[in-house]
Amino acid sequence: MQTKKAPASPVKLRIVLDEEAFLGPGKADLLQGIAETGSIAAAGRRLGMSYKRAWLLAETLNGYFHEPLVTAATGGKAGGGATLTKLGQDVLVRYRRMVAASEAACAEDVAALNKLRGRKLRGKSAK
């Protein structure tokens, strides 16, 4: 039995830390996946991305801050794995809190826009 996917948020928040450092839903979802699975590869698979792409994003995130957000141990007998550091957990919590606040602040206007549309467009983009 398939479970229904939760509807996507109508608000997509992208935080611009500087001209080369961005934190958005994809990077936050990767951090969440690493926290939940203990693996960069598994977190990447959840998001439909290659291990190489997931590793690159984790390294990119680590470069944004004065300390790493993700630590990784190589495989072998111990099995390897990855975890969020205390800073990584803090960054993820703060991002999720900003998203929730943004959604709450926009909810009334998003509902009004949907009423103004009159109907939902399925699979078609409005031009």
Higher pLDDT, 71 or 126: 71
Kindly state the average pLDDT of the residues 65-74: 93
Condensed to tens digits (0 to 9), the pLDDT of residues 81-118 reads: 999 999 999 999 999 999 999 999 999 999 999 899 87
pLDDT of residue 10: 84
Residue 9 lies in a domain: no
As for how many domains the chain has, the answer is 1
Owning domain of residue 50: 15-117
Residue 43 lies in a domain: yes
Condensed to tens digits (0 to 9), the pLDDT of residues 30-65 reads: 999 999 999 999 999 999 999 999 999 999 999 999
CA-CA distance, 51 to 37, in Å (whole number)? 14
CATH of the domain at 67: 1.10.10.10
Is the pTM higher than 0.75?
Answer: yes
Residue 93 lies in a domain: yes
pLDDT of residue 62: 97
